[in-house]
Amino acid sequence: MAIALKSFCFLHLKKPETDFPVGFSSKKATIISVKRYTSMSASAIRTSGAVSISETFKKLKKQGKVALIPYITAGDPDLSTTAEALKVLDSCGSDIIELGVPYSDPLADGPVIQAASTRSLARGTNFDSIISMLKGVVPELCTPIALFTYYNPILKRGTEKFMSIVRDTGVHGLVVPDVPLEETEILRTEAKKKGIELVLLTTPTTPEYRMKAIVDGAEGFVYLVSSLGVTGTRASISGRVQALLQEIKESTTKPVAVGFGISTAEQVKQVAGWGADGVIVGSAMVKLLGEAKTPEEGLKELENFTLSLRSALD
């Protein structure tokens, strides 16, 4: 039996008040294999916490690597598992992690993420509890996090306040799928003030002139939606993605990550081969976590899956 070790990064923390001693181990003895991938330098010691999303992409580009961007829904099966899952993803080769805020009416999400949101909300997950969880776990992570949320929860709190709260947790990015380009200005302004990068989405139905405006305004990366539809695993990824990637890259030097539907190592490799700077895998991850018999089993499967995706990209 392999020696079970909890692997994590050694950090100098920015905020003295959230001082965790180096070598902190969680109450749950999560069994994670010793094989630990680092996308940064070979040395395990880092002098700062996660860097921004754009910085992350810059570093990866220098190394000629494609970013692995998993997505999970907060609070499914529960928030402490989410915290553990973030750590697993962090240590198993993720370059950026998207964390979904569960919402009652997720228009852009398919059945897997819908179900995860419903389960999470039924357990009593709310924005405040997610923020609490993040405050506890982000200091332990090297990977930058982007919050994926619908617009209404942002409006409820007021955009400025929302950005402040989010920034205080150390989150680096934001994806809001139901805000049209024309209205992202206000979000971007407030996000920028707090050093949060607002990712924008472009899709196969977006006309060229509009795509150009989107890539112009996007920060962190450009999110290319791979197909017409909502989130959810797909048997194959449309070849249109390759052409779209080319088109986008002619308009911008910003990194482009492809998401929606990507669920296997083969698909990850395929999309990376088409020129994507990053690959986003959501429903497949959410399914593993949410449908596992126990949280521990889910975390184990998550780890294995993430590692397999990582090696497909390497």
Partner 1 sequence: MASSISTFNSSNLLFISKEQTNPSSHFPSNIIKFASFPSKTTSNVSCSVTRDTSSVLPLEEHTKVENGSVLLQRPDSFGRFGKFGGKYVPETLMHALTELETSFHSLAGDEAFQKELAGILKDYVGRESPLYFAERLTEHYKRPNGEGPHIYLKREDLNHTGAHKINNAVAQALLAKILGKKRIIAETGAGQHGVATATVCARFGLECIIYMGAQDMERQALNVFRMRLLGAEVRPVHSGTATLKDATSEAIRDWVTNVETTHYILGSVAGPHPYPMMVREFHAVIGKETRKQALEKWGGKPDVLIACVGGGSNAMGLFHEFVDDSDVRLIGVEAAGFGLDSGKHAATLTKGEIGVLHGAMSYLLQDDDGQIVEPHSISAGLDYPGVGPEHSFLKDLGRAEYYSITDDEALEAFKRVSRLEGIIPALETSHALAYLEKICPTLPNGTKVVVNFSGRGDKDVHTAIKHLKL
Measured from the CB atom, the residue of 9 and 101 that comes closer to partner 1 is 101
**CB of residue 291 vs partner 1: minimum separation in angstroms?**
16
Measured from the CB atom, the residue of 110 and 173 that comes closer to partner 1 is 110
Question: Which residues of the chain form beta strands (DSSP E)?
Answer: 67-73, 97-100, 145-148, 173-175, 197-202, 222-225, 256-259, 278-281
* SS3 call for 145: strand
**CB of residue 304 vs partner 1: minimum separation in angstroms?**
29
What are the catalytic residues?
98, 109
Task: Identify the CA nearest to 108 among candidates 98, 123, 95, 93.
Answer: 98
Measured from the CB atom, the residue of 37 and 151 that comes closer to partner 1 is 151
What is the helix, strand, coil percentage profile of the chain, to 5? 45, 10, 45
Secondary structure (DSSP) of 201-235: EE-TTS-HHHHHHHHHH--S-EEEE-SSS-S---S
Applying CB under 8 A, which residues contact partner 1?
Answer: 103-111, 114-115, 118, 121, 126-128, 150-157, 159, 177-183, 185-186, 189, 201-207, 209-210, 212-214, 216, 225, 228-230
Measured from the CB atom, the residue of 5 and 186 that comes closer to partner 1 is 186
**CB of residue 181 vs partner 1: minimum separation in angstroms?**
7
Q: Which residues contact 258 (CB under 8 A, 6 or more apart)?
A: 224, 226, 237, 241, 245, 271, 276, 278, 279, 280
**CB of residue 164 vs partner 1: minimum separation in angstroms?**
15
Q: Give the single-character DSSP code of 69.
A: E
**CB of residue 126 vs partner 1: minimum separation in angstroms?**
4
Instruction: Tell me if 145 sits within 8 A of 173, measured CB to CB.
Output: yes
